[in-house]
Structure 1
């Protein structure tokens, strides 16, 4: 061997030895860890109080004993309010002493306090004080009635109106097929003492009446304490509620705000715009506020009276625009007047605004109670939901039990508006005799994988022992401590198709759950829910985006946009979709292709753009085709073998790795091969035990395949550390 060969050989040996040392160092670093993954691993073993559950309860007669029980069960704190007393809610001094003792019992143990902002629910009444001396602040509605008249010549009409103050009465020309058209004739001045006396000319007419009155009978208000409710679109009413409630708490114990006292909890405030009793009411109604006409004109440029008849009747080509303009306006009215005011007060006083909306389970309910939920969700610091049961009906979903759409709505809003924390009020209808702790943990795993990350509980206090509560709180805390860090990752955005619901939504005088009264709107709602479930069952995670988000450019962070039975879009939305496609994004339409323009403007221009885009879209008619269409668009972030529709996952991108929370919603353990679109050293973190361990991974095509067994009704983290 020549000296040159020997020298080269020696160099190769040295180089190989150096590479081996580097690899060993890298592996050692991976095992020991640094950065956020290491920090989370240390926190995972014993998560802090802010990630653990809070009972919505406190025994104020025995505060120290109750505080000791909280500590023994590893709770994160408690959620409670001033207990009232002879002097009144938020006034009685003995009640304040009890409240102070409860706060001190939590403070001395390092536990958090959330304040429940009402005496009962829904929030806004201040125990009835908001409306005392201010009846003008009560919730209002426009009650609708109509009468068709076929006049062979000029005809006198005498018609008894709904009780209240007539806001707008008009005679609308009527076609042979029942469509109103042309310019209505204003008859409001012809109404006196609850009766319309008017003359209509020869022709077919629909006389419509919109009468303002208090919004109470048949609504959420009488079934929640029997007291009238406030108008959440009235800024002055909301300001009074804040002064009577939040400000009093601050004046009494403001020194603990931002320290022991962390949040105010707001419960089921709504427009009261849908009926919630089984008795059929005399008239359908839409929520109203005396300032709404000015808001509407400022947003749309025209008089709200032009839109009102179209809320209940087909008004031809303008029907969709009128309905969408109305519901869009009330969406922002309630968000700005109520939820925004509360959030701004909380922000100024160093506490978070949290809580949940009313009847989040269906798009039809959203229309009745909020218009759209996204503007209101944007105004919570910690947006939330309630999931009051624990059975399969809660997770599978229907228009009564929302299933995965409810937590996904909340987490989508949190991602969209940059809110790291979300909340669930859970377990109101749970009995230990029917529900072992394992099922409660399974419900938490299901909610957390869908984006919830903090828990308040109802009605289970005292049903389980401290060891069981520690198991629940350890699991909840560990999962939350990871899922509140890093950045959520999803390839897909799913349109929140609210305009397609508004287009065919007609308020009913029956319980809002009678979705048969809204067949076309119901079909959109059903398709949206089914597409959501199918994507999750195929391990395709997503965010919902409303049209405001799309128009503001938020599609850029996704690779795929799914349009579930979307029939209606704004022109601005369609233009953003075109930009998305031109930049390489993929669009999947399901069942229908948008064909109706939501806003004012040329329908032909809209149709022409849809025609240009159609060849670039992927269209699927059935849910079974959806996964294959997704696969053609982008390689999955997680592939499971064998396939299992009970597996959901959430991916968080960390600064030096990736964390995947993999949940098995089935009852039995599942063992399979999980292929992740990730790099780094693989580890399994078990939230039931707090243990972490490195595991082997097969590397191919830039992905890692790990063999994992996921317990039934539970989940594990698969973490990749770089």
Structure 2
């Protein structure tokens, strides 16, 4: 009796979409086949060079930017096993508000998708590299943007298996600057001593050497200690440079400065690698608050640049800029799950990041707004506060 709404949800292959034919990065068998068809061909031809001449592998923009409805059938069964509920009853929450359970349902679905991204392509590439005495290096699309949910899942989870987390500093000076700490914090949480940056890709063609230094120093101030200059083309003829600027001796604006730049950058990277980084401010990564208010096509419908929509009361992006650019205080994002899995423990009036090398202790935890938080994480924050730890909540409190 009553009014019923019958809904049908379909999951179709991405064939000929905005990025062409794509593999399901979250499906292990598909990824394994892809690696065999691509990396496997290098393995046949150049294995003798792996680990000595060729020391790293590199991937770029592996995610689902411009395709925020990306899904994989495995999510359904994982949801059922993890929560003991019929996932089909919660699919509508991915499209509109279904009532009090909306936020929790979205967080559950989007978190499973984040886990599958981290454990799919990213993990397999890293394991393939390690087996051949190489380190993996790479990044998702929009790694510097405030909303990772629609671009690649959860950036602090994404880099879990990458040996060298990489960020983009591209298109123009200071673009995405407030997001650089997202990548560097993922490295800190994973006790990874090297953080890479792909610099100056698609910058204005007339950029000079001063801009090369500026971009590098801005990245280093936020935790980068390995530099990959964009635009190293095999053929330096201007007609064949697909994405300017050409960072090579043939570029009259950059060429004369490259020797000095390379020496300066190399020495700086050597000094910055390894050891401990001192940061006594922790910022809670507000991923659950963003997941809870995300739904299919919300980012696209916002009218903002891709991966830039986020709830108005989630202010971590602005906070990152204020701490680094204005107050000159370093900080680390900690994932809410780190508060419950032992990665970050409460030690008296301090929070301790339990790493073998890059251990850190925080006297202050900042909650950068948002209406949603896990009960487990909230309990640990309460324990920290009761022990005399300082907690600063911005914009809104989770309810």
Deviation at 1:524, TM superposition (A): 4.1
Tell me if 1:442 matches 2:214.
yes
Deviation at 1:426, TM superposition (A): 1.5
2:9 maps to 1:210: yes
Q: In the alignment, what sits opposite 1:389?
A: 171
Partner in structure 2 of residue 93 of structure 1: none
Q: Counterpart in 2 of 1:262?
A: 55
Q: Could you tell me how far apart the structure 2 residues matched to 1:510 and 1:404 are?
A: 19
1:416 counterpart = 2:189:
yes
Q: Which stretch of structure 1 is more off in the superposition, 345-354 or 422-431?
A: 422-431
Pair 1:559-2:363 in alignment: yes
Q: Equivalences for 1:324-363 in 2 at 5 Å? A: 324-363=107-146
- 2:149 matches 1:367: yes
The 8 Å contact of residues 410 and 452 in structure 1, kept in 2 or not, is answered as no
The aligned residue for residue 46 of structure 1 is: none
The CA distance in 2 between the partners of 1:315 and 1:390, in whole Å, is 41
Checking the alignment, whether the CA contact within 8 Å between 1:271 and 1:334 is kept in structure 2 is: no
Q: Deviations over 1:633-658 (max 9, x none)?
A: xxxxxxxxxxxxxxxxxxxxxxxxxx
- The yes-or-no answer on 1:230 pairing with 2:13 is no
Confirm or deny that 1:591 pairs with 2:365.
no
Distance of aligned partners of 1:517 and 1:251 in 2 relative to their CA distance in 1, 3 Å threshold: closer
> Does structure 1 retain, via aligned residues, the 8 Å contact 2:209–2:254?
no
Kept in 2, the 8 Å contact 1:490–1:541? The answer is: yes
In 1, Cα distance between the equivalents of 2:323 and 2:397? 19
Are residue 539 (structure 1) and residue 328 (structure 2) matched?
Answer: yes
Q: Which residue of 2 aligns with 1:403?
A: 177
Secondary structure at the residue paired with 1:346? helix
Q: Which one of 71, 81, 92 corresponds to residue 288 of structure 1?
A: 71
Tell me the distance in 2 between the aligned counterparts of 1:387 and 1:481.
20
Instruction: Note if 1:485 corresponds to 2:281.
Output: no
Shift in CA distance, 320/511, structure 1 to aligned 2, threshold 3 Å: closer
Equivalence for 1:697 = none
Selected match of 1:298 from 81, 88, 92: 81
Q: Is the 8 A contact 1:503 1:568 kept in 2?
A: yes
Aligned length: 366
Shift of 1:571: 0.7
CA contact 2:178–2:321 (8 Å) conserved in 1: yes
CA distance in 2, matches of 1:430, 1:369: 22
Report 1 or 2 for greater relative contact order, CA contacts < 8 Å, sequence distance ≥ 6: 2
Deviations 1:649-696 (A, max 9, x none): xxxxxxxxxxxxxxxxxxxxxxxxxxxxxxxxxxxxxxxxxxxxxxxx
* 8 Å Cα contact 1:383/1:423 also seen in 2: yes
| TM-aligned CA deviation for residue 404 of structure 1 | 2.3
Cα separation, 2, equivalents of 1:424 and 1:516:
22
Q: Aligned runs of 1:83-102 on 2, under 5 Å?
A: none
Which of 428, 446, 459 aligns to 2:201? It is 428
Aligned position for 2:374: 570
Alpha-carbon RMSD across the aligned residues, in angstroms, is 2.4
Instruction: Report deviation, 1:423.
Output: 1.1
Gaps of 5+ in 1: 1-200, 222-226, 276-284, 396-400, 596-722
Q: Secondary structure at the match of 2:185?
A: helix
CA distance, structure 2, for counterparts of residue 367 and residue 593 of structure 1: 21
Of structures 1 and 2, the larger Rg is shown by 1
Matched residue SS, 1:430: coil
Distance 1:517 1:255, change over 3 A: closer
Partner-residue secondary structure (3-state), 2:202 = coil
**SS at structure 2 position matched to 1:323:** helix
Change (3 A) 1:487 1:216: same
Which residue in the other structure is 2:234 paired with?
A: none
Distance 1:499 1:254, change over 3 A: same
- 1:93-119: CA deviations, max 9, x gaps? xxxxxxxxxxxxxxxxxxxxxxxxxxx
> Against the structure 1 CA distance between its residues 510 and 331, is the aligned structure 2 distance closer, same or farther, given a 3 Å change threshold?
closer
* 2:159 counterpart residue number: 377
Residues 308/410 of structure 1: CA separation in 2 closer, same or farther (3 Å cut): same
Distance 2:28 2:257 in 1: 45
Aligned counterparts, 1:462-481, within 5 A: 462-463=250-251, 464=253, 466-481=255-270
Change (3 A) 1:384 1:465: closer
- CA distance in structure 2 between the partners assigned to 1:382 and 1:520 by the alignment: 28
The answer for the alignment partner of 1:252 in structure 2 is 45
Give distance in 1, aligned partners of 2:150 and 2:278: 32
Over 3 Å counting, the alpha-carbon distance change for 1:571 and 1:480 in structure 2 is same
* Residues 1:516 and 1:339: Cα distance change in structure 2 (over 3 Å): closer
2:100 equivalent in structure 1: 317
Once residues 84 and 155 of structure 2 are traced to their aligned partners in structure 1, the CA distance between those partners, rounded to angstroms, is: 24
Query: Matches of 2:195 and 2:308 in 1, distance apart?
Result: 33
- C-alpha separation in 1, matches of 2:299 and 2:194: 36
Shift of 1:465: 5.3
Structure 1 residue 438, shift from structure 2 partner: 1.2
Distance 1:232 1:512 in 2: 25
Are 1:307 and 1:326, in contact at CA under 8 Å, matched by a contact in 2? no
Structure 2, unpaired ranges of 5+: 232-246, 345-350, 353-360
